[in-house]
Amino acid sequence: MHLVKKIEIIANSFELGKILENLDKSGVYGHAVIRNVAGKGLRDGEDLDMTMLDNVYIIAFCMPEHIKTVAENVRPLLNKFGGTCYISDVMEIRSIKCIASL
């Protein structure tokens, strides 16, 4: 087992391509996308279910040394177009050897 960073992004689906491109540019090559996400935001007036376009939930993982680049590449998009990103520490149970071969 080893420590990795989990990246969770909730954003407008219109920006999905740009977000995935920036994750890829940051060295994050794998991800999962869940479409049609609805909910209530943490801040007043941030109802995800009341937007005109569908929202997406993106989950991805990277090695800890890549996370600064991820934040630098994703933050401007979220600031400009809306959305949120959470980064947390999680444990990967596959061997490092498997990740290196991806």
Please write the tens of the pLDDT for every residue from 35-81.
988 877 655 555 555 455 689 999 999 999 999 999 999 999 999 98
Maximal C-alpha separation, the chain: 46
Question: For residue 13, which amino acid is it?
Answer: S
The predicted structure's pLDDT at residue 29: 82
pTM score: 0.81
Q: How far is CA 58 from CA 20, 66, 70, 100, in A?
A: 9, 17, 13, 22
CATH number of 2-100: 3.30.70.120
The predicted structure's pLDDT at residue 96: 56
Find out whether 97 and 73 touch, Cβ atoms under 8 Å. Answer: no
HSE-CB of 22 using CA atoms within 13 angstroms: 20
Q: Where are the domains of the chain?
A: 2-100
Find out whether 30 and 60 touch, Cβ atoms under 8 Å. Answer: yes
57/46 Cα distance (integer angstroms): 15
Least confident of 14-18, 20-24, 35-39: 35-39
